[in-house]
Structures are given as structure tokens and as C-alpha cells.
Structure 1
Amino acid sequence: MSTEIVRRETHGKVALLRLALENKLNPLTDELIDALVAALQHVESEPDVHATVLTGSEKAFAAGADIVAMSKLDYQTAFCEEYIGRGWDRIRGLRKPIIAAVGGYALGGGCELAMMCDIVIAASDAVFGQPEVKLGIVPGAGGTQRLPRAAGKSTAMLACLTGESMSAQEALLCGLVSKVVPRDGLIDEAMRIGEQVARHSLPVLLAIKESVNRSFESSLSEGLLFERRLFHAGFSLVDQKEGMAAFLERRCPDFVNR
């Protein structure tokens, strides 16, 4: 599945999605978010695709929300139409792993979109930030919620209260990204990680993502119990039997995703 503004390639068990607006800053318009959600949901429906790499243009992963559209909103319209929430919240419910390959600008909504992904790989020229305060508004797609969880309270306060951006190396040091690579190796590295993820059993990947996400929404004791129940449930899988047999027999496992 491919649209003009979200282009898709499939490499084995990994889907590569590119945000591809004519505006290379990739402002996150409703049209773009709807197309992205449709593409990601299509991946969810494909049993042979286990992971997605999401990237942008040479200039930007996404440089922010659609300021032109936002400038025309009033409170009643934003609230009643659930601006941002109605499309963005569907990304949160996706179960397969998503890897963000971030090059160039990832500002405002672009930074928030990257944080909605499960792994973030940054090019050395990547720039992250939450500049909404400069527009006289609060971040609206998770900037005040996901950034403290990813990078800590002080870093999140600095970013959100000043609107200052951070470099890829700064993002790495605070834990916002997993690793930084040269720009010309960004997609190759993200795809390598995607392929490393996708070779594993799909039901186990779904369970791991769900369990890690649960850690941010529950107490430690409840999170540990949730993890333990998923661990116990794993003994019902054919892939658990195969994985452990392959380990004992010193061979690569042949997972069947059940």
C-alpha cells in the first residue's frame, strides 16, 4: 500500500514508510496523519510484516504541526473536532514495533511523532525540540508527557519552557534516541535494526511492546505482575518450544508466529 504523501517499500518482514509531502519539511497536516495512520494500519493487518521503519525527507523527519491550519482554529473547533487527538491517538494503539529513522528537523509534532515510535535512530544532523511555547501554545501530542518519560523532567522542562532545540548527540545523552549514526547510513541502520526485530516471533514482539508500554502506565508491582503473566502465557506458544529447542541444539530457530 502506498499513497502519494506516504510512500511504502517492503523489504522482507520490514515495511519502510516515507513521509513525502511536496513541502520537504513535512508539516503534519490532517491529510498526512490520516495517510500515515492508514499505511500503519495496513501493516498491522499483514501477518508477514513484523516491523515498520518510519522516516521523512532529506530536510526533515517532520518539522512540526500544520501551523497554517492551527492559526485558524478557535477553542470550540479544536475541542469539538478533537484536533490532533482523533488521528494521532490511533498510532498509539498500534501493536507492531515502529522504528523512527530521524534525519533533519523533528520539531513540535515531529518530535512527538518520533516519541510515539518504539525505537528512535537519529542521523548526526537530526534536531529535536518542542518549540510550541514560541507560538503561544502548549504541546498537544505528548510533548509534556512523553518527553519527561524519555529524557527526564529537567530536560523536558528546558525543551518545553524555552523552546530550545537539541542536537542528535544531546538527544542521545538524555535517552531520547537509541543511537546516532552518520546521515548517509541512517536508513540502512534503521532497516538493519528492523530486520533484527522482525526475525523474531510476532506474538512475542507484540507482547514485549505491550509490556514495556505498560511500565509507563502502572506501578512497578502491577507492571511486574503483567510481565509475569505474559511470561507464563508464552509457554503456550509453538515458538517458545522452537526457540528453546533451537538454543539447546545450537541452531537458528524457525519461528511460525504462533
Structure 2
Amino acid sequence: MLRAFSSRFAKTSSIVGLVPKTPLLTQIRTYTVNGDHKYIITEINDKVGIIRLNRPKALNALNNDLFTELNESLKSLDSNDQIGAVVLTGSDRAFAAGADIKEMQSKNMVESYTKELLGHWTEQILKTKKPIIAAVNGYALGGGCELAMMCDIIYAGEKAVFGQPEITIGTIPGAGGTQRLVRAVGKSKAMEIILTGKVNLTAQEASDLGLVSGVYQADKVVEKAIETAKIISSKSMPAVMMAKEAVNSSFEMPLSAGLLFERRLFQTTFGTKDQKEGMAAFSEKRAPNFTNE
């Protein structure tokens, strides 16, 4: 949840200028939506929504206004029948360096509890039915690491850094770090990362531990995320959504209940036109023409 955890980090924060233009986003056919947003940039490329965090001077530190805009954009993309998947990214220097400490440091316990501090940070991203792919370059620390872990797939640039340094300023992760990190890397490594606050994972370490799906050159990671998002978007959207729901349910249910839930969703797909088309196309040795029905 944190930003500027070292003097080097603080110096970096003061010199970052405008968000660097990712070459890919200027080359592919995109158009910008929600132009009134201040802290994010939303673009659409074919059937893929692209959301870029846009607080360059603060290394994309997360605050309430940013999450309000992010939630609005996710809700809009999720309800858009032309969008099949979403890519969430930041800048070359930082996916998100953490939470904006200045915004929360004066809050007390009663205010934090009664007004559900950080509650709306996870609200829409967890409700989004379409897959979200995090394309991470640079720092993904504290809330930035937690935001990446809320996504369904994480791709990392080769210089990406993941960590949970909250303990170093007298608090703990508050947006899922103690829960999702354990599931991703195991108890012992998660404890080391969270309790010391100083053990950060390189992109390759994160890949080796299973936190991220792949590591790519920094200037290729967004391109790879969009490529995967387009593959997903070409599938039957009802099936994609049900598959995502089934996988996520595995963290909430015992195995027997999860297997039954999966089987019921599998059976449900047989009521869709896409299932009929997909199996017919397979039998006829042709590409399917899914209509999301």
C-alpha cells in the first residue's frame, strides 16, 4: 500500500515527468474514452480495453480519486458488449508504487473502520466478469502489488519489482496482500516479504514462485498483455466469464463444493449457442464463429 519506501524511491518520485508513451499504444489502432479522467487513461483497441494509471509525478501512487476513476472505467468496459478483456498497466517506471501515504496518514482508527478505509479499492475490480491482465513495469509495491494480484493474469517486464513494505511504516497490507500473496507464493515466502518489508521480488523471482505468468522485455510486456487479451476476446464471452468465476471460486470453496460448482457451470454452457457452434466447428474442422449467445 505504500510509496517512496527508500531515499532512492523518493528521489525518483520527484523527477518523474509526463508518463512515457508506450510505443505499442501509439502504433496500434486505439481510441481514448473517458477523457475527463485525471488519474487514468482508458483506451480501446479492437475488443480490448486498456487502462493506464496516470499519476506520473507520484509514481502512480494510489489514492481514492484514482480508484473512483478506475472503478468507473472498469464498470463501463465490463458492460460494453464489444469488449472481451481488459489490460491494466502503468508507466515504465512504476505500475503503482503503493498507496498515497499523505492521503491516509492523518486518519484515526474509528474513522478508518467506520468509513471502511480501502473498501472501495477492491469493489469493482472483483465484480468485473471479464478477465483483467496486469502488465507490470517498474515498481509494484504495497497497494500496487495488491492491485496486480487482484487481476486475473500478471505479466511482468524484466525490471519489475514486487513487494509489501507496509510493516516499515507501522501498518500491514490492507487490500489483500496478506491473503493473495500467500496463495501465490506460499506461507513462508509471503511471511518473509510481509514481516520484513524489505524483501522484494524481482520479475524472475515472481515468475519462479508463480506470482506472475511470464516475464518479457519492458517495452514488450503491454504488447504481450494485449495479445493475450485479444486471444481471450476471440472466445465465447459467456464461457470465458464462467471459467473465470469457476477458477476464482476455487479459493473460496472446499474441493468437493468447487468440483460441483464447476460441473454445474459446465452443464450451463450447453444452453448457449456458442457451445453448439464451438463443437460443430471442431467436428467440421473449421474456426468457430462465436456470437456470445
| Cα distance in structure 2, aligned partners of 1:98 and 1:142 | 17
Query: In structure 1, the residue corresponding to 2:52 is in which secondary structure?
Result: strand
Query: In structure 1, the residue corresponding to 2:155 is in which secondary structure?
Result: strand
Counterpart of 2:153 in structure 1 is 119
What's the offset of the Cα at 1:22? 3.9
Deviations 1:53-83 (A, max 9, x none): 0000121000001111121111011111101
Counterpart of 1:171 in structure 2 is 206
Q: Is 1:95 aligned to residue 129 of structure 2?
A: yes
Contact persistence 2:41–2:54 (CA under 8 A):
yes
Contact persistence 1:24–1:59 (CA under 8 A):
no
Query: In structure 2, the residue corresponding to 1:192 is in which secondary structure?
Result: helix
Aligned pair count reads 258
RMSD: 0.9
Q: Is 1:140 aligned to residue 174 of structure 2?
A: yes
Counterpart of 2:267 in structure 1 is 232
Counterpart of 1:57 in structure 2 is 91
Q: TM-score, normalised by structure 1?
A: 0.98
Q: TM-score, normalised by structure 2?
A: 0.86
- Poorly superposed stretches of 4+, deviation over 4 Å: none
| Cα distance in structure 2, aligned partners of 1:52 and 1:24 | 24
Counterpart of 2:49 in structure 1 is 15
| Cα distance in structure 2, aligned partners of 1:77 and 1:171 | 35
Query: In structure 2, the residue corresponding to 1:233 is in which secondary structure?
Result: helix
Contact persistence 1:155–1:174 (CA under 8 A):
no
| Cα distance in structure 2, aligned partners of 1:23 and 1:117 | 24
Query: In structure 2, the residue corresponding to 1:184 is in which secondary structure?
Result: coil
Residue type of the alignment partner of 1:114: A
| Cα distance in structure 1, aligned partners of 2:57 and 2:127 | 28
What's the offset of the Cα at 1:38? 0.5
Residue type of the alignment partner of 1:169: Q
Contact persistence 2:60–2:94 (CA under 8 A):
yes
What's the offset of the Cα at 1:4? 2.8
Query: In structure 2, the residue corresponding to 1:213 is in which secondary structure?
Result: helix
What's the offset of the Cα at 1:250? 1.1
